[in-house]
Chains A and B, each alone.
Chain A
Amino acid sequence: MYNVDFSILYKSLPQIIEGLTTTIYVCLISFIFAFILSSFITYFRVLKGIKFIENALACLVEFIRNTPLLLQIYVVFKLLPQVGLTFSPVLSGILALSLYQGVYFSEVMRSGIAQIKGEQKNAAYSLGFSSFETFIFIIFPQGLKNVISPLGSQIINLIKNSSLLSFIAVSDIFYISYQKIADDFRIIEYFTLCLILYTSLTGIVLIFTHILNFCLKVKFKEVSFA
């Protein structure tokens, strides 16, 4: 008979906290990398207008979107060392994750920027902004405001996908619980722990997107009345 006993979690509290820290750390760093990468991809695909770079980036985006993340993690972790680029498991995981999610972010941002009308761009050009300045100051903030909810759901995907790093022995929360499950078969307890932690992490992101959406809407209304 299986006795559910949550006090077992107390004994492994230090490892759990370590795992949770790793997950949060990986997610934060990959989010920053992915955001920067996706803004560059969006800039070159939407505004710059160099045909060659545009096509190359489109190929990259399609390629990364249509292959499994697990395989990409393996490629970064196992193939790059043969070329001479050796990373630690955490770093290669972060690289693969931010590349994968950056591509998804860029698709979301591109759809948001498509809603911004071309007159804005022309007006900025006529006022003497360079194309980079137009992107940073005019187009990007407005486009970003349109896609806060889809971007939030992509960040939730990032948090969920970060559990795949356990395949290359990054000791995140899933890896720690999986090892503990293998040790003492406390599946219900550790599964509940994982469930609560992942749900609360994604819930925090969800609440943030709602707050951000609400604030921006209020601000937008004020501007339109003035």
Chain B
Amino acid sequence: MNDLITNMPYLLNGFKVTIILSFYSIIFSLFLGVTFGVLRYFKIPFVSFFCACFIELTRSIPLILYIVFIHYTISPYLFNTYNFTSYLGIDSVEMQTALISLTLFTSAYIAEIVRSGMENIDRQQIWDAKSLGFSTFQTVRYIILPVVLAKSLPSWIAQFASLIKDTSLVSVIGLVELTRASEIISEITGKDFIIMFFTLFTYFIICFLLSNLAKYLNKKYNYMNI
């Protein structure tokens, strides 16, 4: 127990990295995923094909491969020269790599959720909106997306819970987040049990709360019958 308390700052530092990464990835992947999903739904030549390729490729490879690929190919050329995310308080190259790869990876899954939600909506609604003089963008913004968002909120939240679990993989490029920090500490102190279980329970509490929120929302929206 003493070892846990003395090494708590280090663990909390790792926890901070986990939280920052998952928070920003959630926000960015939300926008990117909705964009990809909508573009794939409206069958625009080339653009939809590109989106479909991106989504299917991303969904069929492991996240760890994705992170390593971006770490070796994109980040040496891009993030070493330009610092895109300095205004978010993220300045190391590894953090940017992790942020970008987690965002792209999750956005593919979000896009699938959005697309399947949109396909459940009656095409009649789109035609109705068109006949009332809405442009395509307005139709999506005011008619379709609110319903899709409300209906598939539980699966989005489940996806975000799994994103928080997936942040443990960024240690492959040398970032010290909660999992890696607890591994390092347990190797230094030799008190594996208490530290590993502390980490397990930290993840458990966050993800359990999120998945219960998803269950609650599922019940609520089923009841409301949107």
Contacts and interface: CB of A to CB of B under 8 A. Distances in A.
Contacts of A195: 57, 61, 65
Contacts of A187: 69, 72-73
B182 to A, nearest CB: 8
B30 interface: no
Contacts of B172: 167
B69 A191 contact: yes
Nearest to A188: B73
B192 A79 contact: yes
Contact of A82 (B68, B193, B200): B193
Given A63-B204, A71-B203, A79 B62 contact: no
B200 A163 contact: no
State which size class the interface on A falls in: 20 to 34
Nearest to A160: B62
Contacts of A126: none
Interface stretch (B31-39, B114-122, B127-135, B161-169): B161-169
A160 B40 CA distance: 24
A28 interface: no
Interface string A187-221: 11001001100110011000000000000000000
B168 A68 contact: yes
B209 to A, nearest CB: 9
B176 to A, nearest CB: 14
Interface in B116-161: 161
B48 interface: no
Interface residues of B, number: 32
Interface of B is mostly: helix
B17 interface: no
Interface of A is mostly: helix
A174 interface: yes
A93 to B, nearest CB: 14
B64 A166 contact: yes
Nearest to A199: B60
Contacts of B179: 68, 70-71, 74
A70 to B, nearest CB: 5
Interface string B187-226: 0000011001001100110011001000000000000000
A75 interface: yes
A164 B64 contact: yes
A166 B68 CA distance: 13
B7 interface: no
Contact of B211 (A65, A78, A79): A65
A13 to B, nearest CB: 20
A69 B165 contact: yes
A198 B166 CA distance: 19
Nearest to B61: A198
Contacts of B192: 78-79, 82
In the A-B complex, the 5 residue pairs with the closest CB atoms: A66-B207, A68-B168, A163-B62, A68-B165, A160-B62
23 contacts: A66-B161, A66-B165, A66-B207, A66-B211, A68-B168, A68-B169, A68-B179, A70-B179, A71-B182, A74-B179, A74-B196, A78-B196, A79-B196, A82-B193, A160-B62, A160-B63, A161-B62, A174-B64, A178-B68, A185-B72, A187-B73, A191-B65, A191-B73
Given A66-B207, A70-B168, A164-B64, 16 more contacts: A65-B207, A67-B165, A67-B200, A68-B166, A74-B179, A160-B61, A160-B63, A163-B62, A163-B64, A164-B62, A164-B169, A178-B68, A185-B72, A195-B65, A198-B60, A198-B61
